[in-house]
Amino acid sequence: MNLIVLAIVALGAIGLISAVLLYFTSRKFAVQEDERIGQVSAVLPQANCGGCGYPGCSGFAGACVKAADKGSLEGLLCPVGGQPVMEQVADILGMAVEASAPKVAVVRCNGTCENRPRLVEFSGAHSCKVVQMTGMGETGCAYGCLGCGDCVAACQFDAIHMNPETGLPEVDEEKCTACGACSKACPRQIIEIRLKGPKGRRVVVLCNNRDKGAIANKACKASCIGCGKCVKTCEKFEAITLENNLAYIDATKCKMCLKCVEVCPKNAIHAINFPPRKPKVESAESQNNQSAPSAQATQETPQTPKEQQA
């Protein structure tokens, strides 16, 4: 009986001493979290999409607090919440936030079933990553969309869907938050997060093929062949560059004059969300001016001797 009591007392003493040690240890090494992190996290959408470049909304909230301590929120943006959420974050931290231009995901491929016919049929796992590991895929283009919809599965906002007629993903601009999840999921990196543009208008090269012109043209009817006509047309603004046989338009420099769209022989450059252009109608005065010289020339044409005799 004494042994039992002694054991109980010993265990109790050990437990008490351990509890005291743990208490003082936790107090000594405790990490105090800035209460502003919780406040910032509360106004974030909690999508945890990673589009901000941080591991979830809590990580982004911590980054905002650290940036505020340094005096600027430059470079920080929640793509899901956008400007309204960043303004709330700035108010909590007592900072000013610059207005950021809205962005949207753009599928830089126009290799539809008509433009880029299938050469083989893949019967393995329905995944773009798996198909990419096998080589070219089902078409002759090693750079175009693989059509398995990994981007669709990665989108948390139901903003991208596969079009069964074209075989390409299509972005719903009203739902797209530009989080970049679809871009990260694409093994061929054909989805780019670009500036949405004024009134949603933008000019984009819908091609990612870096092969030489003849090879690219054989693989897809709508591929960029690297002819450089668009680059020459835009020499004044230098908005278009040609690298690795592929033209690229810098959205920050593009003036949207649409001249590059007109000169592209392959229709690889697309003007998105622009109203249809009205055909040019010549005025009656210009038509009369054009017809008048021809009529005068007809009257002044000298007659041949036979015509004079007649």
What is the domain-level CATH number for residue 87? Answer: 1.10.15
Of 72, 93, 114, the residue that ends a domain is 93
Q: What is the pLDDT of residues 128-151, one digit of tens each?
A: 999 999 887 899 999 999 999 999
| Domain assignment present for 11 | no
Q: Are residues 43 and 126 in the same domain?
A: no
pTM: 0.74
pLDDT value of position 285: 56
pLDDT value of position 308: 44
Domain that holds residue 68: 36-93
Q: What percent of the chain has pLDDT over 90?
A: 63
Total structural domains within the chain: 2
| Domain assignment present for 277 | no
pLDDT value of position 8: 85
pLDDT value of position 52: 87
Q: How many beta carbons lie within 10 A of that of residue 161, not counting itself?
A: 14
Q: How many beta carbons lie within 10 A of that of residue 117, not counting itself?
A: 14
Q: Are residues 245 and 167 in the same domain?
A: yes
Residue numbers in the chain where pLDDT is lower than 50: 294-302, 304-310
Q: Are residues 89 and 223 in the same domain?
A: no
Q: Are residues 52 and 139 in the same domain?
A: no
Which contiguous run of DSSP H or E holds residue 3?
Answer: helix 2-28
Q: What is the pLDDT of residues 78-112, one digit of tens each?
A: 988 888 999 999 999 998 877 788 999 999 999 99
CATH number at residue 194: 3.30.70.20
Q: Are residues 145 and 208 in the same domain?
A: yes
Angle among Cα 194, 235, 265 to the nearest 5 degrees reads: 75
pLDDT value of position 297: 43
> Which residues are CB-contacts of 149 (< 8 A; sequence separation ≥ 6)?
126, 128, 162, 169
